């Protein structure tokens, strides 16, 4: 009976070791992805910081900004983990996701 339990424990230990190796591989890949994204992240932060309040006010005055401008605003909201408004219908148009 003791020998059978020992065999079961060893089998469970082997399964856990295999899972641990898989998790470590996933963690290594994740850390590599994060490290490679670092320079791009800093570049995005600098680009966002370079936008002046005057430029934002000018963009806000545009009644119907180009789709690209809307996408950039959505990306900035996502980058800063800010909530985006749900798209809502207003008559024949859809309200933008950013305030």
Model confidence over 42-77: pLDDT tens digits? 898 898 889 898 988 888 888 888 888 888 888 888
Residue 94, pLDDT > 70, answer no
Residue 99, pLDDT > 60, answer no
| Tokens at 94, concatenated | 């859809």
Residue 2, pLDDT > 80, answer yes
Residues 57 and 81: beta-carbon distance below 8 Å: no
| Tokens at 62, concatenated | 């545009």
0.85 surpassed by pTM: no
pLDDT for the residue numbered 31: 92
């Amino acid at each position: 009976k003791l020998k059978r339990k020992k065999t079961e424990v060893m089998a469970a230990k082997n399964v856990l070791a295999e899972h641990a190796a898989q998790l470590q591989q996933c963690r290594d890949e994740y850390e590599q992805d994060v490290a490679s994204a670092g320079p791009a992240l800093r570049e995005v932060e600098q680009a966002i910081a370079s936008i002046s309040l005057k430029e934002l006010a000018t963009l806000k005055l545009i009644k119907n900004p180009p789709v690209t401008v809307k996408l950039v605003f959505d990306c900035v909201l996502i980058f800063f983990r800010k909530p985006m408004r749900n798209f809502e219908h207003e008559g024949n148009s859809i309200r933008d996701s950013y305030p």
